[in-house]
Amino acid sequence: MRKILSSIFGVRSLESDVAIVGAGPIGSLAALHAAKKGIKVSILEQRKEIGFPDHCAGLLSVNGLTLLGLDNLPRNIIQNTEIQGAKFYSPSGQVFSIKRNETQAYVINRALFDQFLKQKAEKAGVNYLTNKKVLDANFDRNNKKLTIEYLDLKLKKKKQHTSTVGIIASGSKRKIAQDSGFKQISNRKYLTGYQYDVENISDLDINMVEIHLSNKLAPGFFVYIIPTSQTSAKIGLASRLKPSIDQLNHFIQIHPTVKDRFVKSSIKKKYSGRIIINGLLRKTSSNGLLITGDAAGQTKATTGGGVITGGIAGTIAGKIAADSILAQDNSRRFLKKYDVLWKKQLLSQFKSMAFFRWCVNRLTDKALEKVFETIIENNIADLIVEKGDIDSQADVLRALLRHPAIIKLAIRVLPLLQF
Ligand SMILES: Cc1cc2nc3c(=O)[nH]c(=O)nc-3n(C[C@H](O)[C@H](O)[C@H](O)COP(=O)(O)OP(=O)(O)OC[C@H]3O[C@@H](n4cnc5c(N)ncnc54)[C@H](O)[C@@H]3O)c2cc1C
C-alpha cells in the first residue's frame, strides 16, 4: 500500500506518511489509529523514555476508557479499580457525595499507561523516535510536504524528518504549536498543578475521590485527594496563584477540615505540571497539519482532565490523517474534517464545562457555602447521580440550571460573586 501511494504521490523520499510530535497518550492514540489504516507513521518524542517523568493524577472514567477501546487495561497499570464517586467539601467542611453502585473511574499509573499505549501502537507498526526535540514544522505548499526540524538530543545535531501530514500532540508546551502556525493558547489559560503521593492518611475512603473547594486556597481550581489504597492517595492542587505549592502544603499541614488526617502521613513523591482550563482552539487543522490533545486545549474546563477528551479528538486526528494519505489530499479542505468531527462529539460538552467553570470561579468562599447549603438541603446530589457523567457534564449542568432551588440560589448569591 505504502509503495503504491508513494509512487502515485511521488514522495518516495519522505520518511513517513504521518509524523506525530509528542508521544503522550494523545500522540500515541493518534498514531495507533493512523497506523491501523496501513500507512507509515512515526512519532518524534523529546523524552528518552516514554511516560517518564509522570505528571498526572491518572483518574480516568470507565466509560471514557471504553470509548477509547481501552477497557481491558492490564491490571498492573491500574492503582485503584473501585472509584464509585466523589465527595465535595466546602471551605468550612460542609460535604455532599455523589456515589453510584458501580465503579465509575480507575486510578491509573500514567507512566505505565503511556508505555502501554506505545506498545499497542508499535504492534500496529508505529515507529517511535525518542530523544528528538522538535524545533519547527513547516508545510511546503509547492511540494505538498511537511518538514519537521528537530534536535537529536543524543547526537546533539539538528536534523529533518519529512512527511505528508503532521499531527502536533506536544501537550502543554506551547512553542511548537505556535511555530507551526496555530493560534497560541493564552498564558492565562494555564494553571500550575502540584501533586504529592502521600502515605498513611487516615479516614480515606478507597471508593471516593475528594474535591475540596475554596477560592481562597485554590482560586480557579480545587484540591483533590485521589485514593490509591485505604491509606495512600495522590493529593494535588492547582490554582491561578503562583506558586501554588505553598497552598498544597498549607492544605496538608493547616487546613482545619483535613489536617488531623495527615498527622502520621509521609510524602513519597512530588510532581508538578501544567493544567489547561478553557484554552480550547477552534481551528485545529491547516494544510498538512493537525493539532490535538492538550496542545489544542482539548481538556475539561471543570477539572483540567484531558486524557479522555483529548483521546477522543486524537483518535479522530489519526484516522483523518490516514484518510488524507489514502485520498492523496493533504490540503486543509480535506483535513478540516477533523475539526468538524471532534466538534460534533465534544464541543457542546466543552462549552457547558467552560460556562460552569466561569460561574464557579466567581464564587467567593461565602457564596460557595450557600451553594453547598442548597445542594445538601434540596438533595441535589441525587439529581447529579441521575444525570451526571465524569466526561459528559452537559446534561447534568442543564438539569441543574433548570432546578428551582438553583434558580433561587443564583438570585441569592449574585451579590456575592466576584467579577
Ligand atoms: C497535576 C496534573 C494532574 C492531572 N490529572 C489528570 C487526571 O486525573 N485525568 C486526566 O484525564 N487528565 C489529567 N491531567 C491532564 C493530562 O495530564 C493531560 O490532559 C494529558 O497528559 C494530555 O495528553 P497529551 O498527549 O496531549 O500531552 P502530554 O501528556 O503532555 O504529552 C505530550 C508529549 O509531547 C512531548 N513533547 C513536547 N514538546 C515536544 C517537542 N518539542 N518535541 C518532541 N516532543 C515533545 C512531551 O515530552 C510529551 O511526552 C493532569 C495534569 C496535571 C498537570
pLDDT tens for 213-229 read 998 889 999 999 999 99
Q: Is pLDDT above 80 for 167?
A: yes
Question: Residue 183 C-alpha to ligand 1 middle, in angstroms?
Answer: 19
My answer on whether 203 and 286 are in the same domain is no
Residue 149 lies in a domain: yes
Question: Residue 418 C-alpha to ligand 1 middle, in angstroms?
Answer: 31
Question: Residue 135 C-alpha to ligand 1 middle, in angstroms?
Answer: 18
Q: Which of 4-18, 253-267, 288-302: highest mean pLDDT?
A: 288-302
My answer on whether 385 and 330 are in the same domain is no
**Atom 3 of ligand 1 has which residue's CA nearest to it?**
56
My answer on whether 367 and 240 are in the same domain is no
211 lines ligand 1 (CB under 6 A): no
Which of 276, 308, 331 is a domain's end point?
276
* Average pLDDT rounded to a whole number, residues 65-73: 95
Question: Could you give the C-alpha distances from 414 to 263, 279, 289, 362, in angstroms and in order?
Answer: 39, 26, 45, 10
Which of 231, 253, 276 is a domain's end point?
276
Whole-number Å distance between alpha carbons of 200 and 89 = 21
My answer on whether 118 and 165 are in the same domain is yes
Q: Is pLDDT above 90 for 158?
A: yes
The per-residue pLDDT for 20 is 98
Read off the pLDDT band of 127 (50, 70, 90): very high
294 lines ligand 1 (CB under 6 A): yes
Low-confidence winner among 92-101, 146-155, 389-398, 399-408 (lowest mean pLDDT):
389-398
Residue 72 lies in a domain: no
The per-residue pLDDT for 138 is 93
279 lines ligand 1 (CB under 6 A): no
The per-residue pLDDT for 8 is 45
The per-residue pLDDT for 417 is 58
Read off the pLDDT band of 418 (50, 70, 90): low
Ligand 1 nearest atom to the CA of residue 236, by list position: 1
My answer on whether 232 and 286 are in the same domain is no
What mean pLDDT is reported for the chain?
91
My answer on whether 123 and 241 are in the same domain is no
Identity of the amino acid at 168 = I
Question: Residue 234 C-alpha to ligand 1 middle, in angstroms?
Answer: 17
Which of 276, 296, 316 is a domain's end point?
276
Question: Residue 101 C-alpha to ligand 1 middle, in angstroms?
Answer: 31
Share in percent of the chain as helix, strand, coil (round to 5): 40, 25, 35
Question: Residue 22 C-alpha to ligand 1 middle, in angstroms?
Answer: 9
**Atom 45 of ligand 1 has which residue's CA nearest to it?**
22
Mutate-to-test residue for ligand 1 from 44, 128, 190, 294, highest number of ligand atoms within 8 A of CB: 294
The per-residue pLDDT for 324 is 98
Question: Could you give the C-alpha distances from 188 to 192, 276, 292, in angstroms and in order?
Answer: 11, 9, 20
My answer on whether 318 and 405 are in the same domain is no
58 lines ligand 1 (CB under 6 A): yes
The per-residue pLDDT for 11 is 43
Per cent of the chain over pLDDT 70 is: 93
Domain that holds residue 211: 79-108+188-276
My answer on whether 135 and 165 are in the same domain is yes
CATH of the domain at 340: 3.50.50.60
My answer on whether 208 and 329 are in the same domain is no
My answer on whether 160 and 233 are in the same domain is no
My answer on whether 317 and 406 are in the same domain is no
Residue 74 lies in a domain: no
Is 147 within 8 Å of 160 (Cβ atoms)? yes
My answer on whether 298 and 237 are in the same domain is no
CATH of the domain at 194: 3.30.9.10
Q: Bridge-partner residues for 43, per DSSP?
A: 20, 128
Q: Bridge-partner residues for 159, per DSSP?
A: 150
Question: Residue 257 C-alpha to ligand 1 middle, in angstroms?
Answer: 31
Low-confidence winner among 201-205, 378-382, 391-395 (lowest mean pLDDT):
391-395
How many structural domains is the chain composed of? 3
Cell of 357: 467553570
Question: Residue 3 C-alpha to ligand 1 middle, in angstroms?
Answer: 34
Cell of 83: 472509584
Residue 221 lies in a domain: yes
Low-confidence winner among 6-15, 325-334, 394-403 (lowest mean pLDDT):
6-15
**Atom 52 of ligand 1 has which residue's CA nearest to it?**
56
Burial of 253-283, coded b for 16+ CB within 10 Å and e otherwise, reads eebebbeebbeebeeeeebbbbbbbbbbbee
Residue 164 lies in a domain: yes
Q: Is pLDDT above 60 for 3?
A: no
> Is 0.85 topped by the overall pTM?
yes
Q: In 3D, which of 173, 169, 193 has the Cα closest to residue 184?
A: 173
Is 168 within 8 Å of 137 (Cβ atoms)? yes
DSSP 8-state code for residue 236:
E
DSSP 8-state code for residue 417:
B
Per cent of the chain over pLDDT 90 is: 73
